Structure 1
Amino acid sequence: MKTLQLLSLFAMILLSGCNNDDDNTNDTSLQGTWKLIEVNGTIAGIRHQFEPGTIQWNFNISNHTFTVVNNNTDDSKQDVFESGNYGYFIESHDVSPGTCNKNIFLEGVNYGCYSTTAASLQINQGEADGLILKFIR
Structure 2
Amino acid sequence: MKHFIYVVFLFVIIGCSGDDDGNPVNPPSNSSGLTGIWHLVNVTGGFAGINDNFEKGVIVWDFDDTKKRVEVTNNNAANSSTEDLFPTGVYTFSIVTINGNKELIVNERNLGNFEITTNEFIVDEQFKDGFRYTFQR
Q: TM-score, normalised by structure 2?
A: 0.73
Q: Counterparts of 1:48 and 1:38 in 2: how far apart (Å)?
A: 6
Question: Residue 88 of structure 2 corresponds to which residue in structure 1?
Answer: 83
Structure 1: stretches of 5+ with no match in the other structure: 1-20, 96-100
Please point out which of 40, 50, 53 is paired with 1:49: 53
Aligned counterparts of 2:135 and 2:99: Cα–Cα separation in 1: 26
**Equivalent residue runs for 1:60-71 within 5 Å:** 60-71=64-75
Q: Does 1:104 align with 2:104?
A: yes
Shift of 1:126: 3.4
Name the CA distance, whole Å, in 1 between partners of 2:81 and 2:98: 36
Per-residue CA deviation, residues 100-122 of structure 1 (Å, 9 max, x unaligned), is x3111111111111111111111
Give the % identical residues.
Answer: 31
Which amino acid letter does the alignment assign opposite residue 80 of structure 2?
D
Contact 1:113–1:126, Cα closer than 8 Å, also in 2: no
Using the alignment, how far apart are the partners of 1:34 and 1:67 within structure 2?
Answer: 10
After superposition, residues 125-136 of structure 1 pair within 5 angstroms as 125-136=125-136
Residue identity opposite 2:112 in structure 1 = G
Aligned-pair CA distance for 1:127: 2.4
Amino acid in structure 2 at the alignment position of 1:49: N
Letter in 1 for 2:48: A
Structure 1 105/70 Cα, relative in aligned 2: closer, same or farther at 3 Å? same
User: Does structure 2 retain, via aligned residues, the 8 Å contact 1:123–1:134?
Assistant: yes
Amino acid at match of 1:90: I
Point out 4+ residue stretches in structure 1 off by more than 4 angstroms: none
Q: Please, which runs of 5 or more residues in structure 2 have no aligned partner? A: 1-27
Rg larger in structure: 2
Partner Cα distance (1:36, 1:130) in 2? 16
- Highest RCO, 1 vs 2 (Cα 8 Å, sep ≥ 6): 1
Q: Helix, strand or coil for the counterpart of 1:30?
A: coil
CA contact (8 A) 1:43 1:128 kept: no
